[in-house]
Amino acid sequence: MIKSVYIIGSKGIPAKYGGFETFVEKLTENQKNGSIKYYVACTRENSLKSNITDDIFIHNGATCFSIDVPNIGPAKAIAYDIAALKKAISISKENGDRNPIFYVLACRIGPFISKFRKKIHQMGGQLFVNPDGHEWLREKWSAPVRKYWKVSESLMVKHADLLVCDSKNIEKYIQSDYHKFSPKTTYIAYGTDLTKSTLTSSDRIVREWFGEKKLSENGYYLVVGRFVPENNYESMIREFMKSNSRKDFVLITNVEENSFYDRLKKETGFDKDERIKFVGTVYNQELLKYIRENAFAYFHGHEVGGTNPSLLEALASTKLNLLLNVGFNREVGESGAVYWNKDNLHQKIEESEKMSHADIDKMDLESTRQVQERFSWDFIVDEYESLFLK
Is residue 338, in this structure, part of any structural domain at all? yes
Structural domain tally of the chain?
2
Q: Which of 320, 312, 307, 315 is closest to 348 using CA atoms? A: 320
Query: How many Cα neighbours within 13 Å face the side chain of 103?
Result: 23
Residues 231 and 225 sit within 8 Å (Cβ to Cβ): yes
Pair (300, 366) in one structural domain: yes
Whole-number Å distance between alpha carbons of 220 and 365: 20
In this structure, are 336 and 216 located in the same domain?
A: yes
Per-residue confidence (pLDDT) for residue 327, from 0 to 100: 85
- C-alpha–C-alpha distance, residues 280 and 359, integer Å: 32
Residue 196 covered by a domain: no
For residue 328, is pLDDT > 70? yes
Higher pLDDT, 9 or 140: 9
Q: CA quadruple 151, 155, 158, 162: dihedral positive or negative?
A: negative
Burial class (CB in 10 A: 0-12, 13-18, 19+), 306: buried
Pick the range with the lowest mean pLDDT from 138-147, 215-224, 300-309. Answer: 138-147
CB-neighbour burial class of residue 169 (10 A; exposed 0-12, middle 13-18, buried 19+): buried
Are both 178 and 261 inside the same structural domain? no
In a domain, residue 197? The reply is no
Sign of CA dihedral 344, 138, 316, 274: negative
- pLDDT number for residue 135: 60
Is pLDDT of 168 > 70? Answer: yes
| Predicted confidence (pLDDT) per residue in 259-299, tens digit | 999 999 999 999 999 999 999 999 898 999 999 999 999 99
Question: Could you tell me if 121 and 219 lie in one domain?
Answer: no
Q: Could you tell me which residues are beta bridge partners of residue 300?
A: 323
Cα first-last separation, the chain: 13
- The answer on 380 and 353 residing in a single domain is no
Helix axes 113-122, 143-159, angle to 10 degrees: 20
Residue 116 maps to a domain: yes
Both 136 and 281 in one domain: the answer is: no
| Per-residue pLDDT tens digits for 3-41 | 999 999 999 998 866 789 989 999 999 999 999 999 999
Decide if 199 is inside a domain.
no
The CATH code of the domain that includes 304 is: 3.40.50.2000
In a shared domain, residues 164 and 260: no
Please tell me whether residues 219 and 299 are part of one structural domain: yes
| CB contact set of 232 (below 8 Å; sequence gap of 6+) | 301, 302, 303, 324, 342
3-class SS at 379? helix
Alpha helices for the chain (secondary structure H)? 19-29, 44-49, 76-95, 113-122, 143-159, 168-177, 204-213, 233-242, 259-268, 285-293, 309-317, 327-333, 345-352, 357-374, 377-389
* Residue 6, strand partner residues: 39, 102
Whether residue 158 sits in one domain with residue 12: yes
Say if CB 307 and CB 167 are below 8 A apart.
yes
CA distance 47 to 84: 14
**Domain assignment of residue 32, given as a range:** 3-191+376-389
Q: Are both 209 and 278 inside the same structural domain?
A: yes
Q: Could you tell me if 147 and 217 lie in one domain?
A: no
- Asked if 141 and 249 sit in the same domain, the reply is no
Could you tell me if residue 302 is left (phi over 0), alpha (psi between -120 and 50 degrees) or otherwise beta? beta
Q: Choose the weakest-confidence range: 67-76, 129-138, 332-341.
A: 129-138
Question: Is residue 348 situated within a structural domain?
Answer: yes
Which of 106, 142, 90, 87 has its CA nearest to residue 24?
106
Listing DSSP states for 157-187 in one string gives HHH-SEEEESSHHHHHHHHHHTGGG---EEE
Q: State pLDDT tens for residues 97-130.
A: 999 999 999 999 999 999 999 999 999 999 999 9
Does residue 365 lie within any of the structural domains?
A: yes
The string of pLDDT tens digits covering residues 170-200 is 899 999 999 999 999 999 999 998 899 999 9
CB 93 within 8 A of CB 119: no
**Identity (one letter) of the amino acid at 153?**
E
| Single-letter amino acid code for the residue at 197 | S
Instruction: Kindly report the length of the chain.
Output: 390
Residue 198, in any domain of the structure: no
